[in-house]
Every structure is written in C-alpha cells, then in structure tokens.
A and B are shown apart, each in its own frame.
Chain A
C-alpha cells in the first residue's frame, strides 16, 4: 500500500486537427486491489476528462478493454496494479483502427473476419423448434466450447507480428473460429471448401509459429493446438484426394 503510481498514457485523437501522438503522465495513489480499468476511470473523473478508453463488463468477459500494458497486450480490467511496478505505460492495441487514446475498433476486423470465414453453421437441414436437440460427442462438444470461449478482445492479433505485416492473415482469432466450425459435425461444408478457405497464405500457412497469440491470450485458449489440428486435417484432405 501507499504507492504513488505514475501512468504514462498514449494520447492522440486522430479526428482532431493538428493533434499529434504524445505520452502524458498522470499520478494517483494506489488503493487495495486496484485494477487498471478502475484506475483509468478515476483518472478520467479527476484529471483527464477527455481520456478515451473502452470497457463494458469489467470482468474479463466482453473483450473491450484490451490494451498494451507495459509492453504486452492484455485486458485492463483483469490487470491488478499490484502486479506492476510504479510506472505503468499504456498504449492502444496496435493493428486495429485507432479511435483515440487507448480506444481501438476491434469490431471492424472481427466483422470482416466473420464474413471471410462465413462464421455460421452451413446447413440445409430444416430447423424444427419442436425436436429434441441432437446429441453430440462429448470430446467434440468440449473442443467447440474451448474455441467459443474467445471474447474477441484482439490481444492475439495485437501480439502477432505476422498480422502486422500481412494484414490479410486471419490471425489466431480467425483460425480459432475456423477450427471451431471444422470441428462441428452440423456444419456441412465439405473438405474441398475447407481446403480452399484455410490452406492458404492468409489462412493457416500464413502463421509462422511465433506463438505470441498463445502466450498473450487472456482467456488461455489452446490456439496452437487448433492450428496444428487444422494443419494435420488439411494434410489429410490433400493426401486423400
């Protein structure tokens, strides 16, 4: 207790004429179990009324509050200041469209991704609201559940060096989504369709295995396991043709 924290925060509003990126310092007293999200709110109430940043759930569920905290992408609401030294440097996530200060628009990217991978169950079957739900193998259900835990925070993309350089690359969140649908027996897309979608340089072979996504994902998704599953599956598809 009793520490005085110094926040060095990236400030820039791209919509304001003649604004240029700079870092501003703010100081505040640390309180018990203070997290970065609460600290930012206090700063906005007391010192920087125009500070822009995002949050909704403050519980690591909505994925809005991703930012670079002392050099790595993670969720502000899940970061206790007691895990950090007295100086805390905050930058917006790279790669995404900057809305201002610490706020980025991850939605644009995730929407485009969802359209590219046609992120819905492709089926011709008529939906019958009266029917009992179809049974699913437990292993598959678990795999799908694991993938569904993604909160679209964008940390895996902000941490991936490849996606910074090849913006078409679907990144960890995109490949995870594909893996989720490939695993789903209700999705009727055939081998050929999957092959054309993922066996590409913007699909799984765009990944050069830097493993940052796996290390920074705040929800600890087994991302690398999804990639290796996709790789082996594509290999099998190709060999069986």
Chain B
C-alpha cells in the first residue's frame, strides 16, 4: 500500500520515471538529440541540394529537367516546408548553447584565442619530452556560431526566394528554371550565394566533425577501425574543400562567368541515347 512521503525529499523517495529529475534529464537528452540530428539532417540535405543545383554544370536542360521533376511530383513543395521547419528547429535548439551575455561570449573568445595562439608562443622541438597539442576547436565553435547566425539571415532570404518560385509553379507559373536562376545569380545575388555557400559548408563541416567526436570517438567501427579526432578531422576537411569547389564552379556557371563545363559530355550521352 502506498504511504505518504510528502515530508521527505523527492530525490530520495521518487526514484522513478515520473520524478522531476528524470523528466529534466530526459529533456536534456532530447534537446541534444534534436539539435544534433537536425544539424546532421540539414548537412545531408545540403549534399543532395548541391548535387541538384550543380546539375547546371551539364547544361540548362538537366537543371530544368530536375527542377520540373521535383515540382511536378510535389517533392519540391514538401521539401521546402520540411526544410524550413527543420532549419528553425535546429536554430532554436542549437542556439541554447550560445551564452546570452556579451561578457560570457568574450570569455570564450579570449580563452580560445589564448590556447590557439600559444602555438606561436612556445617553441617546442619535435623531440621535446612533452609535446603539447595544437588547439583550435574552441575558436572553431565561435565561428560556428557566427556562421550559424549568417546562415539564419542569408538562408531565410534564399528560402523565401526559391519558396516564392515554387509557390508560383503551384499556381501555374514557371517555377524554378535555369533562366530564372542564372538571371538572379548573375544580377548580383551571387554575392549572397558565395557568402551562404562558405558559411554553410564551414558550419556543416565543423558541425559534423563535432557531432562525430561527441558521439562516436573511441568506438571501434567496421572498416574505419577506431574513430579518432585525426580521422574525423581529415574527412571533414576533404568534404569541406570538395563542396566549396563544386559550389563555386556552379555559381560561376549560374552567374554566366563560364560555360557549363560538362555540357559536351551531356550532349554526348544524350546524342548517343536518342
């Protein structure tokens, strides 16, 4: 028979899943999962996104074909709503870690810079008894916050622009077309896109690295062996450079600076198959 325990501290008498402490702990885990998984989801989306946008490298036809396919099947409409939601959920949950006070943010920057800068204030030989490791991840986090804020603004503008396009298509307009895209990128919007591209790739790269370290470092995985910082960092750097190069070339084509470099390839393929 349950007895009355109101006079006794809850943490002693309520060790069950209804207790405040348990609910709080559950919420902390949930927040961490949401901010992490939405971040990873957005990063994966960006890879797919880059694949589709860079179809312009093979000429306008492919780009238009893909755009049409997605809009026709309502995939574009569904995706943009979904992505907008995930985008804001990530923003809200991830920024719970950003200190509100300016003084606090300055402390992080100061300490990060101090440890990073100490690399130049020591002169250790490789053979030194006690090799100190270089450290830059604290400052990288600061830049992750800064790039995140930039993405919030630039990404919202972008989502609004392409969102309007897609909406028009649903109402019988043209939707996303190579003509429309090259038009706006060429008329100066490339500036926004270069900034957005660099911010997104940097933010996602560092984010994925951090995510992997947080959850999997030290774990033995098949094929890759033990997950280490070194390995994850190398993968991150590769992905970062890869996507920035593709992105910049794609933007150059969209802005009309260069011709689609793979157009002849595409023509060959189509020519042969038709």
Q: Which residues of A contact B (CB under 8 A)?
A: 68, 70-74, 78-80, 83-85, 89, 94, 159, 161-162, 164-166, 192-193, 195-196, 198-201, 203, 205, 207-212, 214-216, 218, 222, 224-225, 227-229, 231-232, 234-235, 238, 241
User: Which residue from A71, A165, A235 sits with its C-beta under 8 Å from B117?
Assistant: A71
Q: Write the chain A residue with the least CB distance to B214.
A: A209
Residues of B with C-beta under 8 A to A94: 111
Q: Write the chain A residue with the least CB distance to B212.
A: A228
Q: Are B229 and A211 in contact (CB under 8 A)?
A: yes
Residues of A with C-beta under 8 A to B215: 228, 231-232
User: Which residue from B21, B26, B108 sits with its C-beta under 8 Å from A165?
Assistant: B108
**Mask: chain B, 27-47; 1 = CB below 8 Å from A; 0 = not:** 011011100000000000000
Q: How far is the CB of A52 from chain B (nearest CB, A)?
A: 22
With contact pairs A212-B137, A238-B26 given, residues A228 and B111 touching in the complex (Cβ less than 8 Å)? no
Q: How far is the CB of B137 from chain A (nearest CB, A)?
A: 4
With contact pairs A70-B121, A205-B31, A215-B133 given, residues A210 and B218 touching in the complex (Cβ less than 8 Å)? no
Q: How far is the CB of A225 from chain B (nearest CB, A)?
A: 3
Residues 130 to 144 of chain B near chain A (Cβ within 8 Å): 130, 132-135, 137-138, 141
With contact pairs A195-B22, A241-B17 given, residues A161 and B218 touching in the complex (Cβ less than 8 Å)? no
Q: How far is the CB of B13 from chain A (nearest CB, A)?
A: 13
Q: Are A164 and B111 in contact (CB under 8 A)?
A: yes
Q: Which residues of B contact A (CB under 8 A)?
A: 11, 15-17, 19, 21-22, 24-26, 28-29, 31-33, 97, 99, 104, 107-108, 111-112, 114-115, 117-118, 121-125, 128-130, 132-135, 137-138, 141, 210, 213-219, 229
Q: How far is the CB of A239 from chain B (nearest CB, A)?
A: 10
Q: Are A209 and B137 in contact (CB under 8 A)?
A: yes
Residues of A with C-beta under 8 A to B114: 68, 71-72
Residues of B with C-beta under 8 A to A234: 29
Q: Are B26 and A161 in contact (CB under 8 A)?
A: no
Report how far A153 CA is from B41 CA in the complex, Å.
39
Residues of B with C-beta under 8 A to A224: 213, 217-218, 229
Q: Are A201 and B118 in contact (CB under 8 A)?
A: no
Residues of A with C-beta under 8 A to B122: 70, 72, 83-85
Q: How far is the CB of B236 from chain A (nearest CB, A)?
A: 13
Residues of B with C-beta under 8 A to A205: 28-29, 31-32
Q: Are A199 and B25 in contact (CB under 8 A)?
A: yes
With contact pairs A165-B108, A222-B218, A234-B29 given, residues A211 and B117 touching in the complex (Cβ less than 8 Å)? no
With contact pairs A74-B132, A227-B214 given, residues A199 and B29 touching in the complex (Cβ less than 8 Å)? yes
Q: Are B217 and A70 in contact (CB under 8 A)?
A: no
Q: Are B26 and A199 in contact (CB under 8 A)?
A: yes
10 contacts across the A-B interface (CB closer than 8 A): A72-B132, A73-B115, A83-B122, A193-B15, A195-B25, A196-B19, A208-B210, A210-B141, A215-B134, A216-B133
Report how far A225 CA is from B141 CA in the complex, Å.
19
Report how far A73 CA is from B15 CA in the complex, Å.
40
CB-CB nearest 8 A-B residue pairs: A225-B218, A71-B118, A199-B25, A70-B121, A72-B118, A215-B135, A161-B108, A196-B21
Q: Are A71 and B115 in contact (CB under 8 A)?
A: yes
Most buried by A among B22, B117, B122, B215: B122
Q: How far is the CB of B164 from chain A (nearest CB, A)?
A: 36
Q: Write the chain A residue with the least CB distance to B117.
A: A71
Q: Are A210 and B137 in contact (CB under 8 A)?
A: yes
Report how far A151 CA is from B214 CA in the complex, Å.
24
Report how far A218 CA is from B129 CA in the complex, Å.
12
Report how far A208 CA is from B59 CA in the complex, Å.
43
Q: Are B29 and A208 in contact (CB under 8 A)?
A: no
Q: Write the chain B residue with the least CB distance to A60.
A: B130
Residues of A with C-beta under 8 A to B107: 161, 164-165
Report how far A215 CA is from B119 CA in the complex, Å.
12
With contact pairs A72-B118, A211-B137, A238-B26 given, residues A165 and B17 touching in the complex (Cβ less than 8 Å)? no
Report how far A74 CA is from B214 CA in the complex, Å.
24
Residues of A with C-beta under 8 A to B132: 72, 74, 215-216
